[in-house]
């Protein structure tokens, strides 16, 4: 029993040392302001930090700050952090419906612009909520002001992906919207085998034409609520495809005949492959270098199938085009591919054209051969007839 009482007293002492009072705040003891909350829109969770001294000044403590009216879930409670100046109370919860501590999820759609202009349905998910103070006063009146800290994180669900890292937005101000990004969770890699176990190493002199290039776009450290769906992948001569010749490997359901889609919109990775080709405008160069870009959509696992229906989105025909509008993204990510350009090698389009021309050549040659045989046959018949008449006269 004595040991039990000692443990209780020890705990109370520790709690007393960690608890803040108005005298601990010094110059930070003031009325609440809009800038008292910081919001970090992460890729798998949202983190909130509220300055504690204004809360104490108003008459509350950290245990009286309630996230979205949830009081009985220990995972949704704030944690006092006195290791920073000024001290804060921190909240952290995952970005997952049903487990986001009562946060509201709202998905909106709008026509795409800029690099996404080919798509009529670009989605953004907004995660929002409020932290309120709980007034323990019992009676008709109170002298404690009510505190409300609103947060909001907006995540676009469409990205231009390649191999360059983009920094995630960090913090924002209370009562104002904050933008987050999932782009840092997305990466694109090239492989040399269909099992995606051997990374593709491009030789100094480039890849042989018609070598299969296996592409994988994967989301890592991303909330399991979203799957990866490739809307469009294309190659461009320039790292920045603005005003550059491009070739579409696929746009929505319009897939080039030599591109093979293996997996798309079914998990947190997407896979396809295509044979190495070259741009004809680089025919005088020893190595044809071009850049692969993929416009990637993150869709909720339950709704990905609707975006895979071709009649739901505008699509551009799969052909070689020139992009006239600029890239509006602050960072353009690129993945370089080098292919050999020997004169004896043919591009993909030339190979298809050569196949058709070879077929015409075979037909013409066969016609000439038949004509020659007919002439020879007629000549043999005439010679035989003349020989027969001569023998008949002699007899």
Identify whether residues 252 and 311 lie together within a single domain.
yes
Identify whether residues 248 and 142 lie together within a single domain.
no
User: Is 68 inside a domain boundary?
Assistant: yes
**Residue where a domain terminates, one of 158, 176, 199:** 158
pLDDT for res 386: 67
User: Is 234 inside a domain boundary?
Assistant: yes
CATH number at residue 59: 2.60.40.3210
Taking all residues of the chain, what is their mean pLDDT, rounded to a whole number? Answer: 76
Q: What are the pLDDT digits (tens) for 40-98?
A: 999 899 999 999 999 999 889 999 999 999 988 999 999 999 999 999 999 999 998 88
User: Is 84 inside a domain boundary?
Assistant: yes
User: Is 368 inside a domain boundary?
Assistant: no
User: Is 171 inside a domain boundary?
Assistant: no
Identify whether residues 190 and 139 lie together within a single domain.
no
User: Is 381 inside a domain boundary?
Assistant: no
C-alpha–C-alpha distance, residues 270 and 257, integer Å:
19
Identify whether residues 221 and 117 lie together within a single domain.
no
Q: What are the pLDDT digits (tens) for 246-260?
A: 899 988 878 889 999
What is the DSSP track for 194-235?
A: TTS-SB----TT-BPTT-EEEEEEEE-S--TTEEEEEEEEEE
CATH number at residue 264: 2.60.40.4100
Mean pLDDT of 148-175: 60
User: Is 303 inside a domain boundary?
Assistant: yes
In terms of phi and psi (left: phi > 0; alpha: psi -120 to 50; beta: otherwise), the region of 102 is left
The pTM of this model reads 0.65
Identify whether residues 338 and 202 lie together within a single domain.
yes
C-alpha–C-alpha distance, residues 226 and 313, integer Å:
20
Q: How confident is the model at residue 366 (pLDDT cuts 50, 70, 90)?
A: low
User: Is 81 inside a domain boundary?
Assistant: yes
* C-alpha distances out from residue 123 to 61, 148, 296, 305, Å: 39, 29, 12, 15
Are the C-beta atoms of 107 and 122 separated by less than 8 Å?
no
pLDDT at 230 over 50: yes
Identify whether residues 191 and 319 lie together within a single domain.
yes
Mean pLDDT of 270-284: 88
Identify whether residues 209 and 302 lie together within a single domain.
yes
Mean pLDDT of 147-167: 74
C-alpha–C-alpha distance, residues 37 and 149, integer Å:
7
Q: What are the pLDDT digits (tens) for 4-27?
A: 333 333 333 333 335 788 888 988
Identify whether residues 254 and 129 lie together within a single domain.
no
Q: What are the pLDDT digits (tens) for 95-140?
A: 988 889 999 999 998 888 777 777 778 889 999 999 999 988 888 8
For the chain, the domain total comes to 2
pLDDT at 165 over 80: no
pLDDT for res 172: 24
Q: Which domain holds residue 337?
A: 184-349
Mean pLDDT of 308-335: 42
Identify whether residues 230 and 324 lie together within a single domain.
yes
pLDDT for res 92: 95
């Amino acid at each position: 029993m004595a040991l039990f009482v000692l443990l209780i007293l020890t705990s109370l002492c520790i709690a007393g040392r960690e608890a803040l009072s108005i005298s601990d705040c010094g110059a930070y003891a003031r009325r609440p302001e809009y800038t008292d909350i910081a919001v970090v829109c992460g890729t798998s969770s949202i983190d909130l930090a509220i300055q504690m001294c204004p809360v104490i000044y108003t008459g509350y403590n950290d245990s009286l700050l309630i996230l979205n009216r949830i009081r009985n879930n220990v995972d949704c409670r704030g944690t006092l952090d006195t290791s920073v100046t000024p001290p804060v109370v921190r909240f952290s919860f995952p970005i997952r419906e049903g487990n986001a501590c009562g946060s509201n999820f709202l998905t909106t759609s709008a026509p795409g612009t800029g690099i996404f202009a080919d798509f009529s349905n670009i989605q953004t998910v907004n995660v929002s909520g409020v932290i309120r103070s709980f007034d323990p006063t019992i009676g008709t009146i109170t002298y404690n002001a009510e505190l409300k800290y609103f947060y909001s994180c907006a995540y676009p669900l469409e990205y231009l992906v390649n191999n360059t890292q983009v920094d995630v937005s960090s913090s924002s101000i209370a009562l104002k919207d904050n933008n987050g990004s999932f782009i840092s969770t997305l990466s694109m890699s090239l492989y040399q085998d269909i099992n995606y176990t051997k990374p593709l190493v491009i030789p100094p002199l480039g890849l042989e034409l018609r070598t299969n290039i296996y592409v994988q776009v994967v989301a890592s450290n991303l909330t399991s609520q979203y799957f990866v769906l490739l809307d469009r992948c294309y190659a461009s001569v320039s790292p920045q495809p603005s005003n550059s010749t491009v070739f579409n490997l696929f746009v929505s359901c319009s897939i080039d005949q030599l591109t093979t889609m293996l997996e798309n919109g079914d998990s947190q990775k997407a896979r396809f492959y295509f044979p190495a080709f070259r741009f004809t405008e680089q025919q005088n160069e020893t190595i044809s270098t071009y850049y692969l870009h993929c416009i990637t959509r993150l869709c909720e696992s339950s709704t990905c199938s609707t975006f895979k229906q071709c009649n739901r989105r505008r699509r551009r025909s799969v052909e070689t085009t020139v992009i006239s509008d600029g890239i509006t993204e602050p960072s353009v990510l690129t993945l370089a591919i080098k292919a050999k350009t020997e004169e004896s090698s043919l591009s993909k389009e030339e190979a298809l054209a050569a196949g058709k021309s070879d077929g015409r050549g075979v037909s013409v040659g066969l016609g000439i051969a038949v004509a020659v045989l007919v002439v020879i046959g007629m000549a043999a018949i005439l010679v035989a007839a003349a020989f027969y008449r001569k023998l008949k006269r002699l007899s």
